[in-house]
Amino acid sequence: MVTIDDVRAVAGRLPRSYEVLVGGRVKFRVGRIVYLSFSRDESVMGFAFPKEEREWLIGGSPLKFMHPSRSDMRYHWVLANLGALDREEMRELVEDAWRMVVPKSVAAGYGGQAVSDESSTTQRRRARPTGRPRPA
């Protein structure tokens, strides 16, 4: 089980990332762009994720991942039940969300990891066949 403090430990060390409190909700930003957001009770984490792959992610783990609110469906956004995530998966989701909003030059310099057009979560899932169709 992951807590908001576990997420803070990961997001807090990412270059240009900072925490804000907006309307009683914790959010993490790069510049003015939000890439992580938490429910008021801190049990659900919203995160930047390619909307083209959203149905695939949610369909593969419907107890773990959820659709955002109807008004947020137009954004690259997914919700996750923090209690269902393990720390490694949370770290990958947070870092992938951050990579979506930070300049590529900053992401490329982070930990010496190459930046790809695909998230590391997607790359990992593609490497392990699940029998589920891949997004187009």
Please give the Cα distance from 78 to 69 (Å, whole number).
Answer: 9
Please give the Cα distance from 38 to 80 (Å, whole number).
Answer: 10
Q: What is the pLDDT of residue 110?
A: 85
CB 93 within 8 A of CB 122: no
DSSP secondary structure letter of residue 43: -
Of the candidates 68, 60, 72, 46, the residue with the CA atom closest to the CA atom of residue 130: 60
CB 102 within 8 A of CB 15: yes
Q: What is the pLDDT of residue 126?
A: 47
* Helix (H/G/I), strand (E/B), else coil: 37: strand
Q: What is the pLDDT of residue 45?
A: 98
Q: What is the pLDDT of residue 101?
A: 97
Q: In the numeric block, which tokens belong to residue 133? A: 């169709």
**Residue 96 CB neighbour total at 10 angstroms:** 21
Per-position pLDDT tens, the chain of length 136: 899 999 999 999 999 999 999 999 999 999 999 999 999 999 999 999 999 999 999 999 999 999 999 999 999 999 999 999 999 999 999 999 999 999 999 999 887 443 444 555 555 554 444 444 555 5
What domains does the chain contain, in order, with CATH numbers? Answer: 4-127 (3.90.1150.30)
CB 115 within 8 A of CB 108: yes
